Chains A and B, each alone.
Chain A
């Protein structure tokens, strides 16, 4: 497997600018003749599809929701980072770069991260020009807030609905291109497979979710912007439809999957309330700007929070990490919460929760200010739990949230398969072993607006012309295989629903490959999952047929892929014998219980190659650090 990252030569600070100006161009007249498929209409997909169309390419865009505007990006709450230093608090491109590399526990590529930080400012410009109503100060200038893992205020936001506003901006740009006839949009379509001809991505097979019809779509290049796979845990903060199908099926066709075990558990979610639950709700990390996290100092203290005097509260984040306190990075805050709960200090009925308390902030700033900053989050909390967070502290607990791993891509965002580009959460590129808050929106839009539209031109300028008849032959073959796997799912005719299996898989993954992992737990999962998979293949029931809207069938296909993929995740976690970022192996920790990296052996990206028979094969892309010294991450 060729894992050359194609990082251009030259100084880190000028690499991207220089490289961009030397990329071969495609003439405007020729662009029209190139067809590009974009799968996904979240921030990454919408921004890419719109920009590619503006440049003159013929674009076809697909999403499984009924409208591109409903992609999961819509749910992002807290904000988007950019190194603008509008607050004059000492921010810079280098500082954002540094924070991101350090936040990722030194497992990301320096060149990619620097480019991301460099582009970040232009994203804000673009969004403001589109009419994104970011929060403003009284003087009319843009407002900022802080997020975990940073000591500057660089996060731009639109109340608690930043993702929504950014996506509506990108969706607007996309809608404009649809109206101009430059983008053909296919909502309620699901990609089921990648068409690969002679080592090149040449199209996809999709299922029209309303009619059930399968169709192949050939193109000069395929862009996957299909989001993350946190739903492998069943319960997560992701939307119900988020899945690994597009990327995993591309993986089965030859694309390397990088760092699948790097998953992020978010510290501030509403605790699980029962078996019936279908998903978990995030309470934006921005709440940690003003909320203080604590548990009682006595084990099993069942008093109501207001009855617990100040002296009997342990503000454990402030105590353990005085420099960053409540704004410690996510992996650290999540693990600390799990630890206090496992030690018996947790609160709430299940004991699996900690307090996030606004009393002090309300005294300092007044309820008005808190309401302005977090009003919608507070009312969301109240609707779900029936408790009023203005009066009683919120109860929070970590939940699966984001996946740093994804398909491997080079500096051009192209996978090891020629012509297959991967952007947004679906790729592995910029966040290393842990993503900082407000950086996913930044990365999705950087990829879609400002990176891919340039780098894809270089590929198209040099790629051989699409051999239509060869592509169509492979397409027919691939489509037939999809048809067969659908028939197979419908024909099991067992007794159990898809959700039944998904819930069980989620539990195996959460218990054994979640916030803390060990060789023993991972091996256990690697035994349990194949058994579950075997049961799935024997006892699944998918009512209805394949020739109409069938939501059970859609879920069945996704869960079938999760069952396969979960094993890859465990394998990866097992192979990485160190702790770093969101990947915490209990065998590898310091005396104080912090993650212990093993730089000598694991300063690399782990890239897995699928093999039709036998176990997947591990390849490594070594990482070099020349601008940031590898150090133990400290937020003390």
Chain B
């Protein structure tokens, strides 16, 4: 297959950046999107040009590093997959493909397709954990947890922190990310203890990092590679109101 790529190139945070056209040829349908970029990068390198910088590591949809907006959609056309899991068989031969980085005030561009997502780390630092020191835990089976609670908690805990939710949101809201973490911990007895403070602190951190407010557009759910449900946002909102009343 052949494709015409239009890729965002930007030297560094200060550079203005622009779209650059590249032709890629003879790509097999079983090649992944990132492998296609690898091939292009190898060509660029051998031609003496700087290869396109993009974040990636595990290449199997779990580390959350890869982060491309493809044809205007975070993680591209596949449903429930990350960029690295996207195969070229999902594209039409000869297609023009537009490749851009995550956009958003809280995700400044570092270079080309690489953005700075440390804002997510700072939100977790504000309370996305259970405060228990190593060695202080009781026997793991002392507190039974209903299977359906554990399963639902796992649905939320699957979040890979890629940032697609915020990148897709027209308000650049990180609500789904925050809701997934709060939802996961809230469903488990170990996490419930600190729920009120956690919710207040994480939402505050989200605002401070420059993410916008949620107006229920549900774009986030549509692009989430782990298909995390917006129901967790509704739950977060209930928790948040309670946290506000409490303070």
Contact = CB atoms under 8 A, between A and B. Distances in A.
Interface stretch (A159-167, A515-523, A584-592, A606-614): A159-167
B162 to A, nearest CB: 10
Nearest to B153: A133
Contacts of A426: none
Interface of A: 47, 50-51, 54, 65-70, 72, 74-75, 84, 86, 121-122, 124-131, 133-142, 158-159, 161, 164-165, 168, 171-173, 175-176, 178-179, 185, 187, 210, 239-241, 273-274, 276-279, 281-282, 379-380, 383-386, 449-450, 453, 495-497, 499-500, 541, 543-544, 548-549, 551-552
B61 A380 contact: yes
A127 B160 CA distance: 18
Nearest to A493: B48
A125 B51 contact: no
A126 B154 contact: no
Nearest to B90: A383
Interface of B: 11-12, 28, 30-32, 34-35, 38-39, 41-42, 44-46, 48-51, 53, 55-65, 78, 80-81, 85, 87, 89, 110-111, 114, 116-118, 120-121, 124-126, 128-141, 143-147, 150-151, 153-154, 157-158, 160-161, 184-185, 187-188, 190-191
A449 B137 CA distance: 12
Interface-central residue, A50, A65, A68, by most chain B CB under 10 Å? A65
Nearest to A64: B57
Contacts of B126: 179
Contact of B114 (A178, A281, A497, A549): A549
A69 B30 contact: no
Contacts of A74: 58, 62-64, 160
Contacts of B161: 67, 69-70
A541 B48 CA distance: 8
A495 B46 CA distance: 6
A147 to B, nearest CB: 18
Nearest to B116: A66
Contact of A239 (B50, B57, B114, B157): B57
B135 A126 contact: yes
Contacts of A68: 121
A142 B141 CA distance: 7
A131 B49 contact: no
Nearest to A172: B129
A126 B134 contact: yes
Nearest to A383: B85
B190 A128 contact: yes
Given A173-B129, A495-B46, A497-B46, A65 B147 contact: no
Given A131-B184, A131-B188, A241-B57, A499 B141 contact: no
B191 A131 contact: yes
A135 B145 CA distance: 10
A66 B12 contact: no
Contacts of A84: 140-141
Contact of B141 (A141, A158, A380): A141
A86 B64 CA distance: 34
A72 B57 contact: yes
B48 A276 contact: no
Given A281-B60, A548-B111, 11 more contacts: A67-B120, A70-B65, A124-B140, A173-B129, A175-B129, A274-B30, A278-B35, A380-B60, A499-B38, A549-B53, A551-B53
- What are the 3 A-B residue pairs with the smallest beta carbon separation, nearest first? A140-B144, A172-B129, A129-B137
Nearest to B185: A131
A171 B124 contact: yes
A599 to B, nearest CB: 39
Contacts of B34: 278
A549 B50 CA distance: 11
16 contacts: A50-B134, A74-B63, A129-B136, A130-B130, A131-B185, A133-B153, A136-B150, A276-B31, A276-B38, A276-B39, A278-B59, A281-B60, A282-B60, A449-B134, A541-B46, A541-B48
A541 to B, nearest CB: 6
Contacts of B48: 541, 543
Contacts, number: 223
Given A74-B63, A75-B62, A240 B129 contact: no
A263 B44 CA distance: 34
A383 B81 contact: yes
Contacts of B129: 130-131, 172-173, 175-176
Given A165-B157, A497-B45, A450 B134 contact: yes
Given A384-B87, A543-B50, A552-B45, A239 B63 contact: yes
Nearest to A138: B147
Contacts of B143: 128
Contact of A142 (B78, B140, B153, B191): B140
Contacts of B45: 497, 541, 543, 552
Given A74-B63, A133-B188, A159 B154 contact: yes
A380 B146 contact: no
Contact of A175 (B12, B128, B157, B185): B128
A67 B10 CA distance: 22
B141 A86 contact: yes
Given A50-B134, A274-B28, A384-B87, A70 B121 contact: no
Contact of B30 (A125, A129, A161, A386): A386
A449 B135 CA distance: 8
B29 to A, nearest CB: 8
Contacts of A449: 134-135
A453 B135 CA distance: 11
A137 B144 CA distance: 9
B154 to A, nearest CB: 4
B157 A168 contact: yes
A70 B60 contact: no
A543 B51 contact: yes
A132 B132 CA distance: 13
Nearest to B88: A276
B137 A125 contact: yes
Contacts of B118: 66-67, 187
Interface-central residue, A142, A495, A497, by most chain B CB under 10 Å? A497
Contact of A65 (B63, B120, B131, B140): B63
Contacts of A86: 141
Contacts of B61: 380
Contact of B131 (A133, A176, A544): A176
A213 B1 CA distance: 41
B125 A179 contact: yes
Contact of B28 (A121, A129, A276): A276
Contact of B128 (A135, A172, A379, A541): A172
Contacts of A122: 135, 137
B104 to A, nearest CB: 15
Contacts of A497: 41-42, 45-46
A345 to B, nearest CB: 24
Given A75-B63, A142-B140, A175-B124, A54 B150 contact: no
Contact of B130 (A137, A161, A172): A172
B51 A130 contact: no
Contacts of B58: 70, 72, 74-75, 239-240
Nearest to B124: A175
Contacts of A138: 147
A139 B144 contact: yes
Contacts of A161: 62, 158
Nearest to A178: B125
B56 A175 contact: no
Contacts of A168: 157
A74 B55 CA distance: 16
A165 B184 CA distance: 11
Contacts of B30: 273-274, 385-386
